Structure 1
Amino acid sequence: MVEVQLEMDYRYPLVLLIAFSVCTTVLVAVHLFALLISTCILPNVEAVSNIHNLNSVSESPHERMHHYIELAWGFSTALGILLFLAEVVLLCWIKFLPVKTTPPPAASDTGEKGWQAALASTIIMVPVGIIFVVFTIHFYRSLVRHKTERHHQEIEELHKIKVQLDGHEQGLLAV
């Protein structure tokens, strides 16, 4: 985390301070939630991995909590990274906004240096955020497509085994 020292003689916009406070709090909460899930589930995964009984795998809490684990992973990676990018932008605004142009601006200077620096960081982070979101969506869709194809192959293999056991082809019901 970053230690933020606010300028006492500068009046920050209330919206900026609230946004920074909320973003920081949610960022920490999301990562602590993911850490909690990881810490709680690791002993179960280790215990099941040492047992050679396949039935114990389905009885393990990490199988029942699969959705919570995926939620924690998604929060920690996707949401956590987006929140971190937002945190950097908000931090730049808080740190650079009080910086004034000294000596008085020249005729060619269009504004305060601090405002320009904060705006520059925002302009840089917007395409980074967009690239991150596009990559995340592409990567997630690739994973889902692979998982779907793998399940389809497993169903086909089970059908072949059924046909071999039955000794003849009986129509496969739509799955």
Structure 2
Amino acid sequence: MANDVVVHELTHGITNRPTGGGTAACLQTLEARGLGEGWSDAVAEHYREMILSFLPDGLNKAALLSLTTAGLRTYPYSIDLFVSPPVYATFWANILHNVYAALVQAHGWSSTAFTDPDTAHDNAVFMRLLFDALSFQPCNPTAFVSARDARIEADDTHYAGAHYRGLGVTAANFVDDASVPAGC
């Protein structure tokens, strides 16, 4: 079994527990389950990237990846909407992929994120915010807006709101918005 599948499934167990107060029964609605798939895919993608960074340069790293660039999904995660069109089941994971890419582009990447979670490099910040935001969410969060708000609250708590990115300020359930807060 591929490591990314194992990490994906383990992440389901991890994300179910802090969401909504620790009952492990708060990701049951369609939207909440979609968020769970997104978190699990994002953590698996991050784990795969971290493992590949430790391999010697001469090794064929592509051989360790899934047979297709999309892995188990229909489309690969990408910042390009033509490569990864909005599909509900993977939409949250692609949002997280875009946030991760923007954070790393802006603030760098560290191969020590596994052993130094307090590093300022944004591959570590990304994971910390992903997991910390879970405890700020209500039970069965409604679509992406609740998850966005929880992530912003986690960022405000730990980093004084330094990592702005994501769903627009007037986004609502099933209503897209690309606007950003005036301070960004």
Pair in the same fold by TM > 0.5: no
User: Which structure: greater helix fraction?
Assistant: 1
Structure number with bigger Rg = 1
Provide the TM-score with structure 2 as the length reference. 0.29
